[in-house]
Amino acid sequence: MNQPGKEDDLNPQRRQRAQISLALLIATSITLGMLVLALVLIIQSFRGLEAAKLTAARDTTEQLASAINDRLDAITKPQAIALRILADDPMQFSTTLDERLERLPVFASILQENDLVTSIYSGFADGEFFLLRRLRESDSTFFPDAPANSAFMLRTITWLPPGIMSVEIHFYDEQLRPLQRQALRDYDFDPRSRQWYRLAMESERTILTSPYVFFSTREIGLTLARRSMNGTLVNGIDVTVTELSDKLADLRLTPGTQLAVVNENNGVIAYSSPNSLGSNATDPHALTDLALLPDPTLSLIAHLSDQAEVMSFDSLGRTFYGFSVELDALSSDNLRIVIAIPADELLADAWASLALQTRIAAAIAVLLLILGWFLGNQVGKPLEHLTDRVGALSRFRFDTSVKVDSRIREASKLGTALDDMAKTIRSFQNIALTLNRSKNLDELLKEVLEHIIHIVGEKRGAIYLYARNAEHLNLAVNEGLSLTKQIDKVSRDADDNDIIHQLRTEISGHPIFAILRNRQKNLVGVLVIEMESGDQTRLSNDLIVFVDEIAGSAAVAIETRELIENQQALLDGIIRLVANAIDTKSPYTSGHCERVPQLARMLVDAAQASNEPAFQDFYMTEDEAYEFHLASWLHDCGKITSPEYVVDKSTKLETLYNRIHEIRTRFEVLHRDAEIRYLKDRLNGLNPEQARNNRDLRQQELQQQFAMLADANIGGEFMSENDIAQVRLIAEQTWQRHFSDRLGLSRDELHHLGSTAEPSLPATEKLLDDKPQHLSHWGDRIPPVTRGDPRNKWGFDMELPSHAQNRGEVYNLTIQRGTLTPEERFKINEHIVQTICMLDALPLPDRLANVPRLAGTHHERMDGKGYPCGLRSKDMGVPEKVMAVADIFEALTATDRPYKDGKTLTEALGIMVRMVAERHIDGDVFRLFVLSGVYRQYAEAYLSPAQIDKVDEEALLEPLYQMSR
């Protein structure tokens, strides 16, 4: 026999609680519920009514308080902004009335923008005063002397020498044209004694006074004041809150409701019956006390201070409910709103509704008992089906259909709602996926719009993007709407409501708008969704809030688009900045960094369009094209490190200056030595004719020798061995130096002399010499260009000269071709090394990883004899070969080089044919360059007419065809 409980442990089904039919449960529950409800309604009718009264009154109080807070904020915040702007206004530097009158339009514009502002003024540290008031029809009693058509009244206080206070009143029309100016007498006013002045001077922020009755107009208002940036004055604005009473009148829940805004001393600031709000009998400038109102109802609840406290009381034969709620606005003044609501008006319909509901509940209870069983069966089956579908959702299967076929509307709606929820979640997933993966920014915006429209359940919509500089909205994406392409005059400082109001005047139909702002709350665009289903005239707040929330994804898409575009624009700008800096650095290469990218782009476009075998498989993606674009602009960025005197070296002896002038001076010395020798020979009795002939022959020889050296210094043609020997022979001549060569030298020049002892004076020196101090050693600045250098991670393979620089005079004058020494030639060629190193050091993204290589291979050759890496044709792709052709053609045709004139098209292309034969450049790319006509397109855009001659393309390319056979 089993022990008690053992069988239960072995059979889990028996451990389940007993289950009952859903139909029986629903029928029983509904019937009992209705009976209990009827009993509770009867017993608790009085308590329920009381609770309803309190709830309705409390909700009304909270809404009223919120509305009053918003209105007070709307009154004060724009004026605070205006004061922050005026804090840096030139008014702070004015010292005369004429200077201050120049700022009159600024003060007038603030008054014209806001009807609540009664006056704006500036109080100066020396007691001077400047006040502008906008005159209204109601001000005629306060300013009876105002001329007709007066729109503004200006009161000024200035000090005239010697210490006389001048008080004047000025009247202006609407266009600020002066109408009348008169002096005031017996007017004693010092702004420095006013509370607003003292408080503003003690604070760096905008101060706000407590509400009070204005002296001039008897209106209730408050003052905002702020000290100027230099502390010489305080700007103030008077704002009236009189219209707040009208606002209270509009916010009354029932006709008999009374409302008042009071301060901590029960002074009335606003009253729901404005016409009954009189002046304080004892003090016309003080606020009316709550107890002095004609109706004593509100004074009976003046002692209430807690929002949760509700007071029921009788006044004038009626029952009221009283509330007192503190206002957040003007917190320093402890403002609150007191409300008295007649009980009979507040819940007049509640009593009738309660009786009707009681009768209906009794009838429905009988019917529900009959229908309960049927409904239970109808609901049960769909719920089981929904349970299975919801289980799939819980496993993140949002693509599962949740709809059920049920006659029960709620069950069907629940299925539809769950299905919509799954689709909405899937749409949010798609939005996230789009933001993460989409590369095309326009497509990104379009896809986000489609998903948002789908989430809302509509079919048509659009997105406008905001152009900050032009201050207008441009239509970026449109799905099925007829919209204007551009909406003008959209202020960047406008709030959402103003923008929506403007959009409704521009866009017809039943659209719902969502203002798109970025993380800095700046306007970036507008989302428009056309509401085609439901009651478009009664859009729920929940829908509007929901659209605003999901529109954040569109704002993210726009901000992402702007960030990427700005990043790319910044990168392009920096690239052009570097290129322009290089071109500007040397007048002889001006425009090179700009022309090469244009030519390279034209040639690479031709390669992509070509059907030649060498280019059939060549295609560049958008990222590869941009990568090539950057590389072409930066191909010579390393030249920024090349010494200018080397790049621009036009003579052999040129460094920072042309040293031929030093040699000329030495020849001048020898020339004068010959003259001195002639004079000494005459004194020693030598035959005058012989002495003269000796002098003339020597001086003529010196002239010829210097002319020969000067010609060699130009370096235009190849220098023969005989000319080199002649230079060395001339150099062996000597001259006498009588001044120390160690005086006036820089630290570096003394360092180059090293430990060489200074010869005694006078010292005999060669006419031309290669001195030790002419050599500059590498030291610890050896560039990593040799193959075995452990620092060489780029694969450079260049021959490194023994010295960094050799300024020897004979060494430089005996250069056989051109003007550059091997050291200088290496320095120029090193710009490619610096280009690659500089670009490799940049944090380029993966899609731009090949920029250093593309920019640094345009001096490579097809035969491997180029630099800096000695690459061969097989090591380079089409873009690298295109860069080499573009760089060479631009260099050959450029007219801004110091050592040559720009070639004509025929001459340049002829030289490049020989370079193809020597395997300097790629033959396929060169043929494409000629046959596609790119060379002529470039010439028409950048070459002078004299360089553009007719090219016989067939004859030009014939040697290349013969080579390929």
3-35 pLDDT tens trace: 444 444 445 444 445 556 555 666 677 667 766
User: 701: helix, coil or strand?
Assistant: helix
- In angstroms, the Cα distances linking 208 to 194, 329, 881, 909 are 13, 11, 73, 80
Asked whether residue 91 is domain-assigned, the answer is yes
Rounded CA-CA distance 637/621 in Å is 25
Round the average pLDDT of the chain to a whole number and report it. 77
Asked whether residue 614 is domain-assigned, the answer is yes
In this structure, the answer to whether residues 708 and 737 fall within a common structural domain is yes
Asked whether residue 46 is domain-assigned, the answer is no
Rounded CA-CA distance 259/76 in Å is 22
Q: Give the containing element (helix H, strand E) for 825.
A: helix 822-841
Sorted by sequence, the CB contacts under 8 Å of residue 717 that are 6+ apart come out as none
Q: Give the containing element (helix H, strand E) for 134.
A: strand 129-134
382 has a pLDDT exceeding 70: no
Q: How wide is the angle at C-alpha 765 spanned by C-alphas 762 and 771, nearest 5°?
A: 125
Instruction: Render pLDDT for 404-415 as a digit per residue (tens, 0 to 9).
Output: 566 556 666 666
Rounded CA-CA distance 909/599 in Å is 15
Q: Which of 562, 596, 622 is the last residue of a domain?
A: 562
- β-partners of residue 261 are 270, 337
What pLDDT shows up at residue 130? 92
Rounded CA-CA distance 924/905 in Å is 19
- 178 confidence band (pLDDT: 50, 70, 90): very high
What pLDDT shows up at residue 227? 92
What pLDDT shows up at residue 281? 52
Query: Would you list the DSSP string of 181-217?
Result: EEE--S----GGGSHHHHHHHT-SS-EEPPPEE-TTT
537 has a pLDDT exceeding 60: no
- 535 confidence band (pLDDT: 50, 70, 90): low
- In angstroms, the Cα distances linking 524 to 456, 474, 492, 558 are 22, 11, 9, 7
Instruction: Render pLDDT for 908-947 as a digit per residue (tens, 0 to 9).
Output: 888 888 888 888 888 888 888 888 888 898 888 888 888 8
Range in 496-500, 569-573, 615-619 the model is least confident about:
569-573
- β-partners of residue 235 are 122, 226
pLDDT (mean) for 93-111: 88
Q: Give percent of the chain with pLDDT exceeding 70.
A: 75
Q: Which of 512, 529, 562 is the last residue of a domain?
A: 562
Amino acid at 780: D
Q: Give percent of the chain with pLDDT exceeding 90.
A: 3
Asked whether residue 359 is domain-assigned, the answer is no
In this structure, the answer to whether residues 684 and 628 fall within a common structural domain is no
Rounded CA-CA distance 104/100 in Å is 7
Q: What tokens were used for 137?
A: 């029809």
Give the count of domains, the chain.
5
Asked whether residue 602 is domain-assigned, the answer is yes
Helices marked H in 490-540: 496-506
Rounded CA-CA distance 802/246 in Å is 94
Rounded CA-CA distance 245/378 in Å is 58
304 has a pLDDT exceeding 80: no
What pLDDT shows up at residue 369? 63
What pLDDT shows up at residue 231? 86
Rounded CA-CA distance 266/279 in Å is 14
435 has a pLDDT exceeding 60: no
What pLDDT shows up at residue 697? 92
The count of C-alpha atoms lying within 13 angstroms of the C-alpha of 724, restricted to the half-sphere facing its C-beta, is 11
Q: Which of 308, 324, 346 is the last residue of a domain?
A: 346
In this structure, the answer to whether residues 857 and 950 fall within a common structural domain is yes
Q: What tokens were used for 467?
A: 């152009």
Rounded CA-CA distance 601/885 in Å is 12
What pLDDT shows up at residue 549? 65
- Which residue would you say has higher pLDDT here, 42 or 904? 904
Q: Give the containing element (helix H, strand E) for 676.
A: helix 660-683
Range in 49-58, 271-280, 428-437 the model is least confident about:
428-437
Sorted by sequence, the CB contacts under 8 Å of residue 269 that are 6+ apart come out as 211, 220, 241, 244, 260, 261, 262, 263, 287, 335
Q: Name the residue among 677, 732, 729 with its Cα closest to residue 699.
A: 677
Taken in order 110, 112, 116, 121, the sign of the CA dihedral is positive
In this structure, the answer to whether residues 253 and 292 fall within a common structural domain is yes
pLDDT (mean) for 699-704: 90
Cβ atoms of residues 322 and 309 within 8 Å: no
Asked whether residue 576 is domain-assigned, the answer is no
Given the structure tokens 């700007």, which residue do they identify? Answer: 235
Rounded CA-CA distance 503/244 in Å is 29
Asked whether residue 19 is domain-assigned, the answer is no
In this structure, the answer to whether residues 763 and 872 fall within a common structural domain is no
In this structure, the answer to whether residues 693 and 599 fall within a common structural domain is no
What pLDDT shows up at residue 123? 92
pLDDT (mean) for 459-472: 83
In this structure, the answer to whether residues 799 and 846 fall within a common structural domain is no
882 has a pLDDT exceeding 80: yes
Q: Give the containing element (helix H, strand E) for 809.
A: helix 809-813
In this structure, the answer to whether residues 798 and 858 fall within a common structural domain is no
In this structure, the answer to whether residues 228 and 253 fall within a common structural domain is no
Tell the burial category of 573 from Cβ atoms under 10 Å away from its Cβ (0-12, 13-18, 19+). Answer: exposed
CATH number of the CATH domain containing 526: 3.30.450.40
* Cβ-based neighbour number of residue 928 at 10 Å: 24
In this structure, the answer to whether residues 807 and 665 fall within a common structural domain is yes
Please report how the helices 348-394 and 22-43 are oriented relative to each other, as an axis angle in degrees rounded to 10.
150
Rounded CA-CA distance 572/579 in Å is 10
* Cβ-based neighbour number of residue 759 at 10 Å: 12
* Cβ-based neighbour number of residue 604 at 10 Å: 26
CATH number of the CATH domain containing 276: 3.30.450.20
95: containing domain: 87-210+223-237
Q: How wide is the angle at C-alpha 216 spanned by C-alphas 88 and 243, nearest 5°?
A: 80
What are the φ/ψ torsions at residue 644 (nearest 5 degrees)? -65, -35
Instruction: Render pLDDT for 208-223 as a digit per residue (tens, 0 to 9).
Output: 877 877 766 667 788 8
- In angstroms, the Cα distances linking 447 to 56, 393, 564 are 46, 25, 18
Cβ atoms of residues 23 and 373 within 8 Å: yes
In this structure, the answer to whether residues 746 and 610 fall within a common structural domain is no
82 has a pLDDT exceeding 90: no
Q: Give the gyration radius of the chain's Cα atoms.
A: 47
What pLDDT shows up at residue 124? 92
Cβ atoms of residues 319 and 331 within 8 Å: no
Rounded CA-CA distance 642/835 in Å is 11
Q: Name the residue among 647, 607, 686 with its Cα closest to residue 880.
A: 607
Q: How wide is the angle at C-alpha 330 spanned by C-alphas 325 and 333, nearest 5°?
A: 80
- In angstroms, the Cα distances linking 714 to 46, 199, 351, 899 are 116, 80, 115, 9
Q: What tokens were used for 909?
A: 């292309």
Task: Tell how strand 734-737 and strand 775-776 pair up.
Answer: unpaired
User: 471: helix, coil or strand?
Assistant: coil
Amino acid at 629: H
CATH number of the CATH domain containing 900: 1.10.3210.10
Asked whether residue 543 is domain-assigned, the answer is yes
Q: How wide is the angle at C-alpha 208 spanned by C-alphas 62 and 287, nearest 5°?
A: 70
In this structure, the answer to whether residues 712 and 596 fall within a common structural domain is no
What pLDDT shows up at residue 13? 45
